[in-house]
């Protein structure tokens, strides 16, 4: 996957707001910053699976835990349980069904994993360790992950090519699934000749296998025009709300067009705008030039779109001419979109071209 630098200035007016003499509500600012901080886990930097882990975090497909100092941790090298992996898989594919699924004595209703297990079992993706037990807390093996991934993606991924031969894979239930996964490049082995099918899989390994499969989906591709129209609609609604000075409606715009990191980031930026109006400032956006789109990646559930050529005139008008500022700001960058469970598409990350050498540090 391509690495994208996260922009902290998605709404164009933020470049002007930084120079204005007012402060946002401390309570709202703290809440928005706490949410945003969850998208910056401190233990994945420099990790071999950083790109895949970061993408899953941005898209709300992988959640971390908060330590005693308030830092979000993904724990990428920790072994993953069967319940955790099924939850990741169901979330990544946006799987839903009304079918009952299999009944397992160790998957009681109301547990955080009961719904993902119900969905995955009813779709034939997972079976139990026995006829009556699922083993939600058992650590999942690499062979089991290969099996579940192939079952989950067999209708949307072409498993073609030559299967790898691994010297340590015996004849057992996962053998054909490991072979099929290797055909598609979803698994590549622990070494050139070994797979370690009985080894406990780590969270990083699980995410990488699922990400590779997601990147191969090409059975139900979205129309280019539908994806670019979403971006155009978002920008139009954003401009409309900002120019009306009715900043309370911005949260509704975010709910309609954004999810994951993009939504959290914009909420963090937007907290200042109502304070701007209270201080007597008027904020306006004017789109000067339209953008051109290049669809760089498109699968059944994810898309990466590069937008170039767009510029905005951003004006903050104060009580006097000395308080008025105007800037022309480019809006070139990458939009990352994902398909939601209701089949709508939303933006989960915007990476500005201007921030190509940016930082993951939140300025407080």
Residue 148 has pLDDT above 80, yes or no: yes
Taking residue 9's Cβ as centre, other Cβ atoms within 10 Å add up to: 18
Tell me which H or E stretch contains 335: strand 333-339
Provide, rounded to the nearest whole percent, the portion of the chain with pLDDT above 70. Answer: 88
- At 71 the pLDDT is 86
Taking residue 126's Cβ as centre, other Cβ atoms within 10 Å add up to: 25
Q: Rounded to the nearest 5°, which phi and psi values hold at 298?
A: -150, 120
- At 184 the pLDDT is 95
- At 6 the pLDDT is 58
- At 210 the pLDDT is 97
Residue 362 has pLDDT above 50, yes or no: no
Q: How confident is the model at residue 16 (pLDDT cuts 50, 70, 90)?
A: low
Tell me what the mean pLDDT of segment 182-211 comes to: 95
Tell me what the mean pLDDT of segment 287-308 comes to: 96
- At 235 the pLDDT is 94
Q: How confident is the model at residue 31 (pLDDT cuts 50, 70, 90)?
A: confident
End-to-end alpha carbon distance in the chain:
30
- Quick one: 167 exposed, middle or buried, by C-beta within 10 A (0-12, 13-18, 19+)? exposed
Of 313, 293, 154, nearest in space to 226 by CA: 293
Name the residue with higher pLDDT: 26 or 130. 130
In the beta sheet, which residues pair with residue 66? 72
Contact 118, 244 (CB under 8 A): no
- Residue 22 tokens read as 């007012």
Residue 223 has pLDDT above 90, yes or no: yes
- Residue 50 tokens read as 């950083």
């Amino acid at each position: 996957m391509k690495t994208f630098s996260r922009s902290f200035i998605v709404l164009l007016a933020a470049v002007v707001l930084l120079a204005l003499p007012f402060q946002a509500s401390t309570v709202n600012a703290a809440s928005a910053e706490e949410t945003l901080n969850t998208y910056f886990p401190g233990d994945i930097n420099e990790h071999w699976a950083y790109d895949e882990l970061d993408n899953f975090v941005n898209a709300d497909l992988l959640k971390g835990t908060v330590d005693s100092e308030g830092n979000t941790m993904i724990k990428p090298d920790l072994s993953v349980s069967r319940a955790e992996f099924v939850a990741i898989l169901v979330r990544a594919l946006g799987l839903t069904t009304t079918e009952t699924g299999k009944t397992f004595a160790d998957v009681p209703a109301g547990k955080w994993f009961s719904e993902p297990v119900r969905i995955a079992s009813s779709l034939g993706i997972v079976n139990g360790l026995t006829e009556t037990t699922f083993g939600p807390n058992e650590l999942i093996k690499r062979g089991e992950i290969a099996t579940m991934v192939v079952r989950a993606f067999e209708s949307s991924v072409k498993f073609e090519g030559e299967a790898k031969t691994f010297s340590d894979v015996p004849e057992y239930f996962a053998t054909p699934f490991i072979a099929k996964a290797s055909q598609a490049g979803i698994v590549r082995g622990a070494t050139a000749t070994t797979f370690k099918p009985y080894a406990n899989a780590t969270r990083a390994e699980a995410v990488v296998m699922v990400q590779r499969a997601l990147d191969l989906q090409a059975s139900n591709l979205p129309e280019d025009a539908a994806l670019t129209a979403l971006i155009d609609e978002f920008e139009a609604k954003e401009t409309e709300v900002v120019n009306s000075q009715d900043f309370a409606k911005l949260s509704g715009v975010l709910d309609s067009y954004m999810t994951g990191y993009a939504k959290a980031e914009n909420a963090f930026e937007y907290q200042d705008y109502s304070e701007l109006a209270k201080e007597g400032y008027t904020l306006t956006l004017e789109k000067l030039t339209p953008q051109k789109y290049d669809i760089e990646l498109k699968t059944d559930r994810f898309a990466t779109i590069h937008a170039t050529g767009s510029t905005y005139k951003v004006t903050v008008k104060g009580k006097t001419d000395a308080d008025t500022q105007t800037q022309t700001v480019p809006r070139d960058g990458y939009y990352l979109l994902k398909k939601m469970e209701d089949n709508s598409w939303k933006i989960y990350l915007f990476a500005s071209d201007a921030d190509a050498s940016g930082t993951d540090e939140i300025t407080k």
